[in-house]
């Protein structure tokens, strides 16, 4: 999946960052895809763990990945992926409520109430 070319002038951590960013952008690594651990990827690429850790930290700071503590690091969705998934979920929600006989205006009120009851993210 990833490769590092030591003959390039680009530092190895930058090569890792660039490749993961590109794989995310093209959809080759979809949203919520779990990345290898720092140690595992470092061993796979023949790099020091601190090199991969730096790439992961910078990717997290730029919003490409998110780290969920002991659960690992995951690809975050791109804007088009987020919109597509949101549209799909909204359609599912409307279909389910209509199947229950809930009027559209009531469905909108339910969403507004739910949004108002959740903390901002």
The rounded distance, in Å, linking the Cα atoms of 79 and 25 is 10
Q: What is the pLDDT of residues 8-39, one digit of tens each?
A: 999 999 999 999 999 998 889 999 999 999 99
State the Cα–Cα distance between residues 45 and 39, nearest whole angstrom. 10
Which pTM value belongs to this model? Answer: 0.67
Q: CB neighbours of 108 closer than 8 A, spacing ≥ 6?
A: none
Q: Which two tokens stand for residue 60?
A: 């997290």
Domain ranges, ordered by start, for the chain: 12-75, 79-117
- For 37-91, how does the pLDDT look when each residue is reduced to its tens digit (9 = 90+)? 999 999 999 999 999 999 999 999 999 999 998 999 999 988 777 778 888 889 9
Residue 65 parent element (H or E): strand 65-67
CB 2 within 8 A of CB 46: no
Domain 12-75: top CATH class: mainly alpha
What's the confidence (pLDDT) of residue 120?
61
């Amino acid at each position: 999946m990833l490769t590092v070319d030591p003959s390039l002038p680009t530092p190895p951590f930058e090569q890792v960052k660039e490749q993961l960013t590109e794989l995310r952008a093209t959809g080759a690594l979809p949203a919520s895809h779990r990345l290898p651990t720092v140690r595992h990827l470092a061993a796979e690429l023949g790099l020091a763990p601190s090199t991969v850790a730096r790439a992961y930290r910078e990717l997290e700071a730029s919003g490409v990945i998110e780290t969920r503590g002991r659960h690992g690091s995951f690809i975050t969705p791109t804007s088009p992926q987020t919109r597509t998934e949101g549209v799909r979920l909204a359609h599912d929600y409307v279909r389910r409520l209509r199947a229950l006989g809930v009027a559209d205006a009531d469905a909108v009120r339910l969403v507004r109430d739910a949004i108002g009851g959740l903390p901002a993210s």
